[in-house]
Chains A and B, each alone.
Chain A
Amino acid sequence: MTILMTFIQKAIGQSISILFGATGEIITEKSGNLNLGIPGIMYMGGIAGLMAAFFYERASAAPIGFIGLLLSFAATLIVSALGGLLFCFLTVTLHANQNVVGLSLTTFGIGFGNFFGGSISKLAGGVGQISVATTASAYRADIPVLSKIPVIGDLLFSYGFLTYLSIIVALVIGRFLMHTRKGLNLRSVGEDPATADAAGINVTRYKYIATTVGAAIAGLGGLYFVMEYLGGTWTNNGFGDRGWLAIALVILALWKPLNAIWGSLLFGSLFILYIYTPGLTRATQELFKMLPYVITIVVLVITSKRDKLENQPPSSLGESYYREDR
């Protein structure tokens, strides 16, 4: 029972970063932009939040956790949105190839995160690891009263606010896409920008906004990782390939944020299942970690074989749209 409880808690801990990333990528892809820079943007978002908290805690004699939280949250949103903006400027305004830009952005973003994560305390004249314990504890604060309920409290209310935010954001984006006019317009931009353009929809604006907002959401995944998961510190490449898992999750979720919630839990569970499966050797553990990618490939193949239009990637995904080429 306790093992199961710990397992679920740990699985949720693994899944939140991926969920943020996937939700951000879904709204981006719905605009027709395949932003392969998301893994880099998540690194950028993570380090930006960490740096903001770090400088605040260094500058203040008695740092207040909540202020650190606000500052780091804002820094993450701004820096990761800038990453999305750069992607859009190059692909939409300058018509560059999306894959090339995305991969460059990921190279840049991971380097950015690891560089500052590894060097910031030295650059600031200090030594050793960064640690922002005060801010991190604000991120890790569970829900007061409710978390004290036995079992249910541990299971549902023992997490920091970003956990709940990730689910809320996924639900809101899901509703936005399916039940609002702007969501409908956005979907049409990703399906067929020429038709959307003819219907009077500003394709460029939709692409910019969706991609920038998507990047900001994805950046929160990085913030979750450094603050709640790691407790306010940085290890180089510690974030690993969670960004790519997020992109895989978009496929598994068939571009629907609601599915991404379940999917992220599945991925999170697979990530740590090996610890809780008795009789596994170290080698088979590694094979377990392969499962999310293999499952994604299988889903990708099956959906393309079925050819059901609703489950396909947005038709114009990865392609640039220029009106003059119409």
Chain B
Amino acid sequence: MLNDHEVLAKEPFFRITKRAHISNLKSWGIRLIAVVLSLIVCAFVIMAITGENPFNVYLGIIDGAIGKKRRLWVTIRETLTLLIIAVGLTPAFKMRFWNIGAEGQVLMGGLATAAVMIYLGPTLPNGIVLLLVFMASILAGLLWGIMPAYFKSKYNTNETLFTLMLNYVAMQIVTFCIVFWEKPSGSNTVGIINGANEGGWLPKLFGLDYGWSLVIVLLMTVGMYVYMKFSKHGYEIAVVGESQNTARYVGIDVKKVIMRTMMISGGICGLAGAIIVSGASHTISTSTAGGRGFTAIIVAWMSKFNPFVMILVSAFLVFMQQGAIQIASQFGLNENASDIITGIILFFLIGSEFFITYKVERTKAKKEATAK
């Protein structure tokens, strides 16, 4: 309030003020405009590269993402993976703890899964193996989450940089393990684990290949929504995120909350590793997480930490990625085209948030009258 005049005095062409309130309709309208703009820019980019007309490009994208039953299921599978990682990141971000380490947590989860599958898969009954897979993957992710949390709560160590570094430690551990697990020898890849007996593979559910993944991920999504919104833990996380000072004042053990929350966050990301390895790829490599740990950060952020919105955002991103991969292969180009498309869409979505938070007005049109 007090600063209206200052802003007025210093913004020569535009006046930028924080919106007091914005309706849901308007804010989603702004996001929709951003999406449309980004799609137009993407079309131009693809056009410039391939020479195809934009209409065909988008038909190609739709065809690539959902055109065949198999493609549709790949899109759903990828959406689920991105979604569960974003869900896992939610409590950490809500607590203002910058967990950039999902990539590493997913990898560690995947690694634990692969280990259980390789060493126990062929011998134990599948149910037990799967149980162990889940436990091991959650534990591995949890371990990767708790380290930065411990040092953050003890010495206030910068968690952004810490979790970032852990990603690459995880990656090297994976390469290390691949040396022992590689098949055929010298290939430097693990190949399909237990291809013959499917030990440790998530079985079909209702006849669907990814049925279990679907159930687990949706359960986690709903569970996270409930946890954050209605539980005492969720409330504590919100208070710690908004003001650690207040949290201490009312007797919330801030250190405990940070540790607990990062255990949950890392654990879910570890579980995501199991979903990928046991549920889909049945192998492990350094690209098992494939950058989704990073994309999920953006998904969680764009969704304002609402798990249900995350379904929408991750579905849209994956849809565009899968479509772009299809387009690229049609023209014999490489699949990295999808990263360019993702990048462009993200830039527009990120930029649009500004217009939701702030109101931009031409200064000369209206003056102080609008200030209040």
Contact = CB atoms under 8 A, between A and B. Distances in A.
Most buried by A among B7, B156, B339, B351: B339
A304 B157 contact: yes
Interface of A: 34, 36, 86, 90, 94-97, 99-101, 103-112, 114-115, 118-119, 122-123, 236, 241, 244-245, 247-248, 251, 281-283, 286-287, 289-290, 293-294, 296-297, 300-301, 304-305, 307, 313, 318, 323-324, 326
A243 to B, nearest CB: 11
Contacts of B18: 324
B98 interface: yes
Interface of B: 3, 6-7, 10, 16-18, 49, 98, 100, 151, 155-158, 160-162, 164-169, 171-173, 175-176, 179-180, 291, 294-295, 297-298, 301-302, 328, 332-334, 336-340, 342-344, 346-347, 350-351, 353-354, 357-358
A239 to B, nearest CB: 13
B161 A323 contact: no
Given A105-B343, A119-B333, A244-B168, A99 B160 contact: yes
Name A's interface SS: helix
Most buried by A among B3, B157, B164: B164
B168 A293 contact: yes
B342 A115 contact: no
B351 A286 contact: no
B336 A114 contact: yes
A236 B336 CA distance: 10
A100 B298 contact: yes
8 contacts: A99-B100, A100-B297, A111-B343, A293-B168, A301-B155, A304-B158, A324-B6, A324-B7
Name B's interface SS: helix
A293 B354 CA distance: 35
Contacts of B169: 290, 293-294, 297
Nearest to A294: B169
Contacts of B49: 119, 123
A290 B173 contact: yes
A100 B162 contact: no
Contact of B166 (A111, A241, A297): A297
Contact of A122 (B332, B336, B338, B357): B332
B224 to A, nearest CB: 20
B337 A111 contact: yes
B347 A90 contact: yes
A100 B158 contact: no
